[in-house]
Amino acid sequence: MAAPNPQLSLNDGAPQSVQQRFATWMAGEDVEGELEKCYGVALAGENDCAAGPGTSCEGTSTVDFQGNAWSLVPAGTCEYIQTPEGPASTEALDRNLPA
């Protein structure tokens, strides 16, 4: 699992339990429980997998917050994660795709 991107934040509606898991993860500590794929949260070259056509997998994203590249995050947090480019998603996004 890639290290968390320090440019990520949570939206105001995140429940306390999500805030705690997110804070633990962002601090670099092990997070207990399941992880989920979260699209659009990785910096270029720091995705865990899936970076679209022509890529092999981990570390192959070429654009920050690439919408079709995912990283693993603590389960339940993705839907609340905000990036400088917009919200994260549990499904691939059509934003910040390489030219």
Distances (CA, A) of 95 to 25, 61, 66, 68: 25, 13, 7, 8
Q: What is the pTM of this model?
A: 0.86
Residue 75 has pLDDT above 90, yes or no: yes
pLDDT of residue 52: 59
Instruction: Give CA–CA dist 42/84, Å, rounded.
Output: 11
Q: Label residue 84 by pLDDT band (50, 70, 90).
A: very high
How many other C-beta atoms lie within 10 A of the C-beta of residue 94? 7
Q: pLDDT digit string (tens) for 3-46?
A: 788 899 999 999 999 999 999 999 988 888 899 999 999 999 88
pLDDT of residue 55: 56
How confident is the prediction for the chain on average, in pLDDT? Answer: 88
- Higher per-residue confidence, 45 vs 1: 45
